[in-house]
Structure 1
């Protein structure tokens, strides 16, 4: 159980690019990073408007001299300091991720980046190569994967509790954009602009989340081919989709499907993953993240609860409070930031950190690759394509 005691020798000196006043995701980053004393916020380039960003940073107790007008200036100036930043989180629109991540790595910094890491697999692989050359950690904020019941699912599958895995059924389908809300909402408007959002909307923004959950649970399953159909039900969003269905075949013959949508009217969040084996199935729903449904063929269905002694030990390590009390998204993100911090500390000490599981650069590359293949299939008329 995590109780807030010191895990690192010293907190990692940390900065943010983006995530300024009014940014919901920025607050989540800071809440997760600052918990448990893993990181210390010492600098930032919080806003495209330098004055507004400086005012915001000061209200976060950041030295006004270390509130910078842009990321390039911050990396340059912090590099001159003995107490300069060691890591940076990037919470800016999609189109900026590649250049900022590249600049941060070249400045010798660890990086935590919002997904997508970039727009093309070629760019993603370039960043992966650079991160390895610089021996820096790149974490991707697949924020739902820090829930303990995802780890429980991983261990159940690994230990054969479900038998041979046959089908993986995933969805992330909410209804909050079932009307053209982007007309009055700036934070949604850029998400449907190809110049800023990239080659997809819900495939990249939503679909990659359950995809990564499946990668956590089934780390050895590799996609062989897929077929994707995508639609723009709100026509002004075209060519970007607001709904998509993707069917996938794994190399071992198992099958999977992902439905991602922002026009599922009436749905609050609608992110679920169901893994079906030859003996049993499990299902996790992010609106009830403390439970995992476990269904053994021929027996009554069971609901497994977070924090209980019957879970695998790996699923209990990230508990922050006793069973019966609910944990949520902030705890999940905090668990990921704790993993990022441990990996960064080990990297700085030139120690192997293969034993530290976290959504790293490989997860970022795979998310970009999956979107690219889905778009290729959909744009050819929803045909099967070999996974490249």
Structure 2
């Protein structure tokens, strides 16, 4: 297939997420890194972009300059990734969708539900893809979990248990560190800290695997470090559209946990367990039988898993390759639209603007419930009620 042009906003030198996106976008040869506005400091962004191979005329000083520069080009970028600070996502994503570009936005897609609804409507009216980087759903065995649930291997799913807990913000003496403090400041982070940062990854993965949306929830939120305004630990109970019961714990003060994103699914006929820190193994317990360990890359898996596995069984695949699978999906989706054909069903799994909107509605629902001593609240965006 013809290679697509890709551009990036944010993700400059020293960025946590920028290298993962560049590795992911370039891994399969589907995208050429063609343009970027990589830093809020124009001169630094231009210089760094050129060290990565961008030509001087396409290493832009800011996103507005990039929008104007790309809009008139015959070889304009086909996809733009937005990897800037959270509060800027809405404005940049909106501008590029209106400019006729497909967009992959880092989460959270917006800072409010109203902004999220506007992005969903804009994506629909322009016919442009707006994807959201819930990148962990790109893992091969997460997609195999989804396929197993969808084809009925577990029967009706009764309970899903999700966790995303780490201990990297557990030191109270670190509370004034600017790299930590902003996350718990409502002026910069919004209405939620830990749930908005990590919990929505776990909640989205639960919906992705089970194939159901979150309808209502009850939350217990707490600031274990008392100087924090926003929560550093949350327990969320939720109910899903197909009747499944959900439990979710997320924390930033769980000393000893590193990147504890895990998912367990319990159905009538069996259970599944997967952990992001050991992503090559999926544990399947069929009812009345012995525990089975499913290995990434082994024979006989689903098309969704086979399509997203690159190296032979027994070799580790990590987070940048999970990101690469989101980009692989998007390349297939863009080519399908260009050529007027249906997308490969095994690739039609990238998170949409609708997912970003549902996540933002859940963030506000958790904040509301947490402030109301766990009152059950509607977690759906108004446009989906």
- SS of equivalent residue, structure 1 residue 24: coil
Residue 183 (structure 1) aligns with: 176
Residue 383 (structure 2) aligns with: none
CA contact (8 A) 2:157 2:210 kept: no
Change in Cα spacing, 1:123 to 1:350, as seen in structure 2 (3 Å) is farther
For residue 192 of structure 1, report the CA deviation from its aligned partner.
Answer: 2.6
For residue 185 of structure 1, report the CA deviation from its aligned partner.
Answer: 5.0
Q: State yes or no: 1:307 paired with 2:297.
A: yes
CA contact (8 A) 1:18 1:92 kept: yes
Q: 1:346 aligns with which of 329, 333, 336?
A: 336
For residue 229 of structure 1, report the CA deviation from its aligned partner.
Answer: 1.2
CA contact (8 A) 1:137 1:347 kept: no
For residue 198 of structure 1, report the CA deviation from its aligned partner.
Answer: 2.2
Q: 1:85 aligns with which of 77, 80, 84?
A: 77
Q: State yes or no: 1:255 paired with 2:245.
A: yes
- SS of equivalent residue, structure 1 residue 292: strand
Give TM-score, length-normalised by structure 2.
0.93
Q: State yes or no: 1:237 paired with 2:228.
A: yes
CA contact (8 A) 1:169 1:275 kept: yes
Q: State yes or no: 1:100 paired with 2:87.
A: no
The worse-fitting range, judged by mean Cα deviation, of 119-128 and 244-253 is: 244-253
Cα distance in 1 for partners of 2:126, 2:54 equals 28
- SS of equivalent residue, structure 1 residue 215: helix
Matching of residues 162-311 of structure 1 within 5 Å: 162-180=154-172, 181=174, 183-184=176-177, 186=179, 188-219=180-211, 221-238=212-229, 240-311=230-301
For residue 224 of structure 1, report the CA deviation from its aligned partner.
Answer: 3.2
CA contact (8 A) 1:175 1:266 kept: yes
Q: State yes or no: 1:335 paired with 2:325.
A: yes
Q: How many equivalent pairs are there? A: 377
Q: 2:371 aligns with which of 374, 379, 383?
A: 379
Give TM-score, length-normalised by structure 1.
0.93
Q: Which whole-Å deviations, capped at 9, do the CAs of 1:139-190 have from their partners, x for residues lacking one?
A: 111111111111211121122221221100110001111125463353x343
- SS of equivalent residue, structure 2 residue 28: helix
Residue 5 (structure 1) aligns with: none
CA contact (8 A) 2:332 2:344 kept: no
For residue 80 of structure 1, report the CA deviation from its aligned partner.
Answer: 2.3
Q: 1:67 aligns with which of 37, 59, 69?
A: 59
